[in-house]
Amino acid sequence: MALQRHDEVVLLLGAPGAGKGTQARYLADVLGVPHVASGDLLRENRQRGTQLGRAAQAYMDRGDLVPDDLVVDMIVQRLNAPDAVRGALLDGFPRTLGQSAALEGRLVERGGRVRNAIYVEVPTKVLVERLAGRWMCRECQATYHEEFYPPSSHGTCDSCGGELYQRLDDKREVVANRVNVYLRDTLPVVNCYEQRGILRRIDGNRPIAVVRAALRQALGVTEGVRA
């Protein structure tokens, strides 16, 4: 398939822990379009001190959320870059129906659209298991997982011998809440694209290679063929 022009985007939706980040970079590469993550865009704009970045910073300094329209402005600006000539893969946005409306309003103004949406689906229980078992080294920031990637000696970093700790964000109750908030806000977005017939659900609770094959199939791209 392939995106034909600026302003045609593919959305990748999935809860925290669904493995979306890894899959997003892979998919963008296969499609030959940039991987645009809203969190990265916001960080880059603030660091570079762009007009949009400074506007966002002002909200954050007051402890307010950055308005959806401002994030959409950053996305639209990113779509103007030469490497987005055939569109982009959007990762992590929209998360709410309001964001979805803001994004589509701007795309339509420019003659663009959401071409496809993909929802990487993983059972809530599995998401919490994946996220809750993470441990990090205080010294070198290496990460481990108590079940999937344990250190050889409990509580100690394999690479540097540093002490391992669990970030507050990775504690079970906090993780479960984060997942539930995501599902509450984002499932309506998933349903909306599904009703329009442009959403594909992918079972993300399978080995990475199998998920990748399903993603390629969903977007009609064959391995090794650059779109």
> Cβ of 35: how many Cβ atoms within 10 Å?
18
- Tokens representing 194? 């599904």
* Active-site residue, 54 included: no
Query: What's the closest the beta carbon of residue 165 comes to Zn ion, in angstroms?
Result: 11
Residue 2 binds to Zn ion (criterion: CB under 5 A): no
- Separation CA 16–CA 175 (nearest Å): 9
- Separation CA 70–CA 114 (nearest Å): 19
What's the Cα-to-Cα distance from 115 to each of 3, 7, 205, rounded to whole Å?
8, 9, 25
Residue 136 binds to Zn ion (criterion: CB under 5 A): no
Residue 153 binds to Zn ion (criterion: CB under 5 A): no
Query: What's the closest the beta carbon of residue 138 comes to Zn ion, in angstroms?
Result: 8
- Tokens representing 6? 């600026």
Residue 126 binds to Zn ion (criterion: CB under 5 A): no
Residue 142 binds to Zn ion (criterion: CB under 5 A): yes
Query: What's the closest the beta carbon of residue 157 comes to Zn ion, in angstroms?
Result: 3
Pairing label, strands 8-14, 88-91: parallel
- Tokens representing 207? 């080995």
Output 19 or 151, the one with its CB closest to Zn ion.
151
* Active-site residue, 20 included: yes
Q: Of the listed pieces 70-78, 110-118, 132-140, 218-226, which binds Zn ion according to CB under 5 A?
A: 132-140
Residue 140 binds to Zn ion (criterion: CB under 5 A): yes
- Separation CA 111–CA 113 (nearest Å): 7
**Selected binder of Zn ion within 160, 181, 187, 208 (CB under 5 A):** 160
* Active-site residue, 134 included: yes
- Separation CA 2–CA 190 (nearest Å): 22
Output 143 or 217, the one with its CB closest to Zn ion.
143
Q: What letter represents residue 51's amino acid?
A: Q
Residue 158 binds to Zn ion (criterion: CB under 5 A): no
| Binding positions for Zn ion, rule: CB under 5 A | 137, 139-140, 142, 157, 159-160, 162
Catalytic residues: 20, 95, 134, 167, 178
